[in-house]
Amino acid sequence: MKELFIKYLNENLPYIKSFHPFFNEALQAMLKAGGKHFRAQLLLGVVECKAPQLVSNALGAALALEFIHTYSLIHDDLPAMDNADFRRGTPTLHKNYDETTAILVGDALNTEAFLLLSNLNLKEKIKINLIRTLAYNAGINGMIIGQAIDCYFEDKKLNLDELKFLHIHKTAKLIAASLKMGCEICELDKKESEKIYDIGLKLGLIFQINDDIIDATMSEEQSGKPANHDTHKNSFVNLLGLQEAINCKNDLIQNCKNDLIDLDEKISKMIENLMIQYL
């Protein structure tokens, strides 16, 4: 599924004909640079389980998720936020080009995600659901407020509840949305879809704790981005200590596995496989 998505991504990179000397190159750079494509795999994984005949129609929805995730990384790396020099093993856009370009490429990918969804070869009702789910979870009620809190409280310590609020919004909601969008494409019933969304929130939190652990323990080469960069940030490792963060992650994984027992067997297996691979 990952290979299929990467092929689709590379054949559907955004492009605009103009006399700007490098905007297209910048627009495509971070999308081409790799990444785990975790969100895309979640969406496509659900579709493969429940409506495999729709996988080819769903690739554009997975790409829309990748656009949103990539725009968020590009803006997150800006000097006014994390001021990061490397991402996905390559210089960040504002380093390689300039800040203006990085801001505008992020803006473009945000908007383009919704253009992609509107053009999918799926029922109109499904497309509206996908757009609503993506915009809600990537917007002020999701990713944005998480990122705003992360930046504002950078040198101010949060308590555990606040830290969870931060990361549920900044990271987990888009991951949960990825699963939900898969459910929407397959027209699963609402109750099932909400149950899967809730598992996605836990999965997203595990993903973030894991990211914090990687940041604290891996070298730059291993992770493809600056190591130990987040010491002044509200991370699970900084708040709980490394061992307690690892325990917290393991508890959440167990909790998540318990939830998976109640789910459709195929979807449950798919999520477990991705957990083994990435978490």
> Which parts of this chain interact with a copy of itself (CB under 8 A)?
14-16, 18-21, 23, 27, 71, 75, 78, 80-81, 98-101, 103-104, 106-108, 110-112, 114-115, 117-119, 124-125, 127-128, 131-132, 134-136, 138-141, 144-145, 147-149, 151-152, 162, 165, 169
Q: How far is the CB of 225 from a copy of itself (least distance, A)?
A: 19
Q: Which residue, 101 or 208, has its beta carbon nearer to a copy of itself?
A: 101
Q: Which residue, 4 or 165, has its beta carbon nearer to a copy of itself?
A: 165
Q: How far is the CB of 112 from a copy of itself (least distance, A)?
A: 5
Q: Which residue, 148 or 227, has its beta carbon nearer to a copy of itself?
A: 148
Q: What is the DSSP string of the chain?
A: -HHHHHHHHHHS-----SS-SSHHHHHHHHHHT----HHHHHHHHHHHHH-GGGHHHHHHHHHHHHHHHHHHHHHHTSTTTT--SEETTEE-HHHHS-HHHHHHHHHHHHHHHHHHHHTSSS-HHHHHHHHHHHHHHHSTTTHHHHHHHHHHTTTS---HHHHHHHHIIIIIHHHHHHHHHHHHHTT--HHHHHHHHHHHHHHHHHHHHHHHHHHHHS-HHHHSS-TT--TTS--HHHHH-HHHHHHHHHHHHHHHHHHHHTS-HHHHHHHHHHHHHH-
Q: How far is the CB of 133 from a copy of itself (least distance, A)?
A: 9
Q: How far is the CB of 44 from a copy of itself (least distance, A)?
A: 22
Q: Which residue, 1 or 117, has its beta carbon nearer to a copy of itself?
A: 117
Q: How far is the CB of 76 from a copy of itself (least distance, A)?
A: 10
Q: Which residue, 97 or 236, has its beta carbon nearer to a copy of itself?
A: 97
